[in-house]
Amino acid sequence: MAAKVALLFFTFGLAFLAATVSADPDMLQDVCVADFNSGVKVNANVQKIPGLNTLGVSMARIDYAPGGLNPPHTHPRATEMVFVLEGQLDVGFITTANVLIAKTIKAGETFAFPKGLVHFQKNNGQVAAAVIAAFNSQLAGTQTIAATLFAAQPPVPDNVLTKAFQVGAKEVQKIKSKFAPKK
């Protein structure tokens, strides 16, 4: 009986430990002071938004033209939540069981995209749409699926892509040509 109780406490301890290390690290300072002599320049700095650099969050405004698309992509380090300011969007994500969770959202509504899952947003209206996107990470990262596969440098081997997508080499080359850098 004592062994079962000890095992139970050990299991809960491991679960608690896993939960405590599953987020951005705690900040080491209250605010991060900008280095104005640096060659790197950003639109927002700690003078405009004090302390944002060390809070483990980020935000962006995204504007969509009628018919505009934010193609399938992932954020490997953050969950994303969007709030529609104007217009409406078709949004969705694909679960790890390959189930599409999709919805049309309009001004005043929100939608969340879980960390690391492939997701998209498309303006389905005849007028412009805008959202505020919030992330629970300072550096969410963005990996666009098509560009990742068809514009990687060095390139993903054609035989990998032909087998993965069950298409011929000509089709792979045609898709790759659409993602080639503009000269």
Residues 177 and 139 in one domain: no
Q: What is the CATH number of the domain that holds 115?
A: 2.60.120.10
Total tally of structural domains belonging to the chain: 3
Q: How far is CA 31 from CA 55, 102, 140, in A?
A: 9, 38, 20
CB 179 within 8 A of CB 150: yes
43 assigned binding-site residue = no
Residues 75 and 48 in one domain: no
Residues 40 and 71 in one domain: no
37 assigned binding-site residue = no
Share of the chain above pLDDT 70, in %: 72
pTM: 0.72
119 assigned binding-site residue = yes
Residues 126 and 50 in one domain: no
70 assigned binding-site residue = yes
Residues 67 and 46 in one domain: no
Residues 44 and 6 in one domain: yes
> Which residue shows structure tokens 């792979």?
172
Given a cut of 80, whether residue 1 has pLDDT beyond it is: no
Coil vs helix vs strand at 173: helix
Residues 120 and 136 in one domain: yes
80 assigned binding-site residue = yes
| Token duo for residue 145 | 């699926």
Residues 23 and 43 in one domain: yes
CA 155 to CA 158: how far, in whole Å?
Answer: 8
CB 120 within 8 A of CB 41: no
Under the banding of pLDDT at 50, 70 and 90, the label for residue 24 is: low
Residues 15 and 90 in one domain: no
Give the domain extent around 131: 56-144
CB 93 within 8 A of CB 112: no
| Ramachandran angles phi, psi of 177, nearest 5° | -65, -25
Write the pLDDT tens digit of every residue in 59-79.
889 999 999 999 999 999 999
Residues 104 and 115 in one domain: yes
